[in-house]
Structure 1
Amino acid sequence: MPASNSGQLLRVQLDAAKAFYGIVLTTVLLFWLNQDSISLYCQQKYHQSCELPVLGQSPAWRLGGNLTQALGAARDSFVGSLEQSRTAVAQVDSVALPAPMPVVPVNLEAPHGAPPVVAPKPIAAKVAAPAMAATPTKPAAAVSPNPLPSATVVSLAAGDEVFLVGDSLMQGVAPHLSNSLRKRYQIKSVNLSRQSTGLAYPGFFNWPQTVARTLENSPNIRLMVIFLGPNDPWDMPQGKGKPFLRFKSPEWETAYRQRIDAILDQAREHQVQVIWVGPPNMQKPRLSSAMAYLSGLYQEQVGLYQQHYLSANPVLGYQDDAFSYTLQNSQGKRVKTRVDDGIHFTITGQKLIAEQILSLIAFPGLTVTGH
């Protein structure tokens, strides 16, 4: 083989080796920095600990995860300081400056030795009233002077907002509920529903923490609607290096009830009404049985806080353990309410649940502007 061809082949092999080395190094670096996110995803996907037996406990390996956490905390702190600065500037701008004192002419023709006579002059321009600073405390929920209709359990007034919490079940219902609130009653919504979330894996997404932060930053929220469950009937992690809590065990149930209570505590602290929607029966019997178990926990804890529980089963025409993909409507026709996965809803099913939630809300003093 000519020497030139041999040299070219060697260079090609060296370039390929460098590229391969770069890919391996980049992959290891990404795993090193994102080890916590990968572990949490693995836990939620397979419902068991996914830590590497030896490498996961190595200080050098853990340094990558700690570095990512520190960078995330610094980012959150920086974003928080920017939001505080923007809020402070907005508050300063909202306060009207006092109107300048009007210049009043002096009568120069007063007799000699007499004090000058001030001629009063009316001010033609209107002085704007100083803007009222926003109060940091929440107003009490508006209550109708007359008893609410028997079907309603909560009340909203002008300027109130609704907070929508939940997983993909809520993601389907939320747009219909938000549109009806906005178009009919000019009530705004804060929709933070997010798929694959629940209360069992706070490391992946922490709903109690999100609720606390949202209620603190949104003083106009007067009602919180919660709809979740299908992502929770699994063994639950306790923390790094600890065994998972077995689903339905006394320890699991205690931890889960505490997370329900953490949300309801925030609602009570901020004087927010709650409608907690229990998940309906599912097509698979095992999952359906788990939803019935979780619904019992939701209903019990909500009752202890004197809030309001709504089961989705009657809305979809289910009795006991029954499941159906369809529902007979008022015209006697069967309409499909569940999609083929036996978990989520069709648009018809979403609208039915949204309307049922809406029927529990009274709007005293508000005029309906559309349907």
Structure 2
Amino acid sequence: MRSPSQVLLLAVLIVSLILPPGLPVAGAAKVDPGAPKAKRILLVGDSLSIGLGQQMETAFAGKPSVRFAHLGKVSSGLANPAFFDWEANLDAQVKAHHPDVVMIMLGANDDKPLPTPSGRSAPYKSASWDVEYARRIARLHAIAKSENPAAAVYLIGVPIMGDAAFDAGMGHVNGVLAKTAASLPDCAYINVRDVLADASGAYAPVARTASGATVKLRADDGVHISAAGSRLLAARLIETVAEPSGLPRGELLAAIENRDLTPMARPGRPTAPAVTAVASAPASASAPTVAAAEKPAAPVAVAAAAVAAKPVAAPAVQVAQATAAPKAVAP
């Protein structure tokens, strides 16, 4: 009498003889060797990037040509790594996603003195502050390219702000961002100041839709950005990044709904659409063109609630989504 193990072995041999050769193993993915490799895009930033990330996630969802991830942290920046260490967190994201494109939207909370490696404090807007801030940006740039030396890095400027004095003062941060981007390989600065401004360049809290309705672009604090405003920002980023990355620009823009908006300085006083020219972007990951002569806008101090990045399931897309919405300003 045969033992159970002998019976099992005999059954396996019989099945192997019956099945035709070359049958795929159960659960094995069918891979088209000729299919283009998906572009891996990572967006990181403070609270102003959260709604932007959600809109870009919508544009990329279901697109096998893109894998998108986003990490947003409220009240974060480069001035206070004790609160949130962007070097460590960006490093973790880069190791997890191996991005081909990294977009960084920081600066909003960095209008304050910076401690320097020498132990001294660099006053805000001073020459030593500029040097230290550029050093910190360069560190992020190096981390962004650490897993993929050919990765393209984009520094996103901060939009126009509602408070004129704050807006004017914060322009200094964007100036350093633009200058630093011009000095780094495979790096470009994206000026978004005009995206949420009217045709004259004035701060636009609202916009008029094609049907004549009025929608909010900004929160009442004059700082944070609504879903409608985030759609306009997402369109600007796609306009800048898509073609250099080999992505279908028109198809991605079409996925951003309700972006036919005319920013207005005040309700009831419509203006012509704001200029939509984009900052120069890398023509390829290895040969960027940088808009170095821009007069950028101002960053902003943002709120104080933590935002965690969580993966979001979508067909052929891996997304790390910031789940908390922006809150009130923390001066």
Normalised-by-shorter TM-score class: 0.5 to 0.7
1:236 aligns with 2:114: yes
1:190 aligns with 2:69: yes
1:287 aligns with 2:287: no
Q: CA RMSD in A?
A: 3.4
In structure 2, how many angstroms separate the alpha carbons of the residues matched to 1:256 and 1:321?
27
From 135, 143, 155, the counterpart of 1:266: 143
In structure 2, how many angstroms separate the alpha carbons of the residues matched to 1:343 and 1:227?
14
Identity of aligned residues (%): 22
- 8 A Cα contact 1:184 1:368, kept in partner: no
In structure 1, how many angstroms separate the alpha carbons of the residues matched to 2:105 and 2:83?
18
In structure 2, how many angstroms separate the alpha carbons of the residues matched to 1:365 and 1:314?
24
Q: Deviation at 1:288?
A: 0.8
In terms of fraction of residues, the more strand-rich structure is 2
Q: Deviation at 1:166?
A: 0.3
Change (3 A) 1:333 1:123: closer
SS at match of 1:357: helix
Q: Deviation at 1:173?
A: 0.9
Q: Deviation at 1:194?
A: 0.7
- 8 A Cα contact 1:313 1:319, kept in partner: no
From 172, 189, 193, the counterpart of 1:309: 189
SS at match of 1:192: strand
From 200, 225, 228, the counterpart of 1:345: 225
Counterpart of 1:126 in structure 2 is 22
Q: Deviation at 1:160?
A: 2.1
Deviations 1:200-233 (A, max 9, x none): 11222121232233223322x1111111222110
From 58, 64, 71, the counterpart of 1:179: 58
- 8 A Cα contact 1:211 1:263, kept in partner: yes
**How is 1:1-371 mapped onto 2 (pairs within 5 angstroms)?**
124-126=20-22, 158-184=37-63, 187-219=66-98, 221-238=99-116, 242=119, 244-269=121-146, 270=148, 271-304=150-183, 305-318=185-198, 322-329=202-209, 334-360=214-240, 361-362=242-243, 364=246, 368=251, 371=255
In terms of fraction of residues, the more helix-rich structure is 1
In structure 1, how many angstroms separate the alpha carbons of the residues matched to 2:236 and 2:212?
20
Aligned pairs, number: 227
SS at match of 2:79: coil
In structure 2, how many angstroms separate the alpha carbons of the residues matched to 1:286 and 1:216?
40
Paired residue type of 2:174: S
Paired residue type of 2:101: L
In structure 1, how many angstroms separate the alpha carbons of the residues matched to 2:178 and 2:210?
29
In structure 2, how many angstroms separate the alpha carbons of the residues matched to 1:365 and 1:340?
36
In structure 2, how many angstroms separate the alpha carbons of the residues matched to 1:334 and 1:344?
18
Q: Deviation at 1:287?
A: 2.1
Q: Deviation at 1:239?
A: 7.8
Listed as ranges, the gaps of 5+ residues in structure 1 are: 1-102, 104-120, 130-156
Q: Using structure 1 for the length normalisation, give the TM-score.
A: 0.53
SS at match of 1:261: helix
Change (3 A) 1:252 1:125: same
In structure 2, how many angstroms separate the alpha carbons of the residues matched to 1:340 and 1:267?
34
Q: Deviation at 1:126?
A: 2.1
In structure 1, how many angstroms separate the alpha carbons of the residues matched to 2:216 and 2:80?
32
In structure 1, how many angstroms separate the alpha carbons of the residues matched to 2:96 and 2:114?
30
SS at match of 1:177: helix
In structure 2, how many angstroms separate the alpha carbons of the residues matched to 1:166 and 1:320?
28
In structure 1, how many angstroms separate the alpha carbons of the residues matched to 2:142 and 2:207?
37
Counterpart of 1:84 in structure 2 is none
Listed as ranges, the gaps of 5+ residues in structure 2 are: 1-12, 26-35, 256-331
- 8 A Cα contact 2:107 2:173, kept in partner: yes
Q: Deviation at 1:127?
A: 6.9
Q: Deviation at 1:171?
A: 1.0
- 8 A Cα contact 2:114 2:132, kept in partner: no
Change (3 A) 1:319 1:212: farther
List 4+ stretches of structure 1 deviating above 6 A: none
- 8 A Cα contact 2:160 2:194, kept in partner: no
Q: Deviation at 1:268?
A: 4.1
